[in-house]
Amino acid sequence: MTDLNEPLIQGEKAPDAKRRGEGVPGRKRANLPEAKLLEFAELLFFAYRDFTGDPDAILKHFGFGRAHHRVLHFVNRHSGLRVADLLEILTITKQSLSRVLKQLIDKGYIVQQAGSSDRRERLLFPTDKGRALAERLAAPQLVRLSEALRAAGPGAETTVRRFLEAMVNAEERPKVSSIMSASPVPLKEGGKGEDE
């Protein structure tokens, strides 16, 4: 088996005989057996499915989808980011973002404000209404995370964090950690967005 006449994609490695830790003795710090790893893959699938399930249910009542959640979340967490920042974070096209963002703006969850140093930029801020919705969507997720970290036992916070960080593409890690460290994107503005 394992012989499709298909070219290797991207950074794919050829399946170098058998060397996945199963029957090879001369291996220091043996990898987990494939079956175990597959279980982690499945667990991650189910975990993520349920993680997004709570907010999805709430969003439906507002006529929004998961895409709106993502936008609202990042705008709320990182008030004043530019459209371009959002595109980079979400890794989608501006046309995809456009529809979702427009709806959030039209319905009063997000406001735009021209940048003061560069007036081409549209800095995005949540309104009070937007902040409230973002918090409401996040609430069940935070409860879930909090309980899961507790259930995972002592040291879970550090271990899980390192695990998740390492799951991110290496090239992306700097970007991700800069996004997460409070002031992610060059917040050129001191703008607060406390208006509405």
Q: State the residues that interact with DNA by CB under 7 A.
A: 63-68, 70, 82-84, 91-96, 98-102, 112, 114, 118-122
Which CB, 42 or 118, lies closer to a copy of itself?
A: 42
Cα(182)–Cα(161) distance, integer angstroms = 17
Report how far residue 109's alpha carbon sits from residue 106's, in angstroms, rounded to the nearest whole number: 8
**Of 112 and 146, CB closest to DNA:** 112
Instruction: Count Cα neighbours of 114 within 13 Å in the Cβ-side half-sphere.
Output: 5
3-state class of 189 per DSSP? coil
The one of DNA, a copy of itself, none whose footprint includes residue 102, by CB under 5 to 8 A per kind, is DNA
Query: Nearest distance from residue 31's CB to a copy of itself, in Å?
Result: 5
- Nearest to a copy of itself of 24, 139 (CB atom): 139
Partner in contact with 34, chosen from a copy of itself, DNA, none, beta carbon below 5 to 8 Å by kind = a copy of itself
- The partner in contact with residue 83, picked from DNA, a copy of itself, none with C-beta cut-offs of 5 to 8 angstroms by kind, is DNA
H helices of 17-127, in order, are 34-60, 66-77, 83-90, 94-106
Q: How many CB atoms lie within 10 A of CB 30?
A: 10
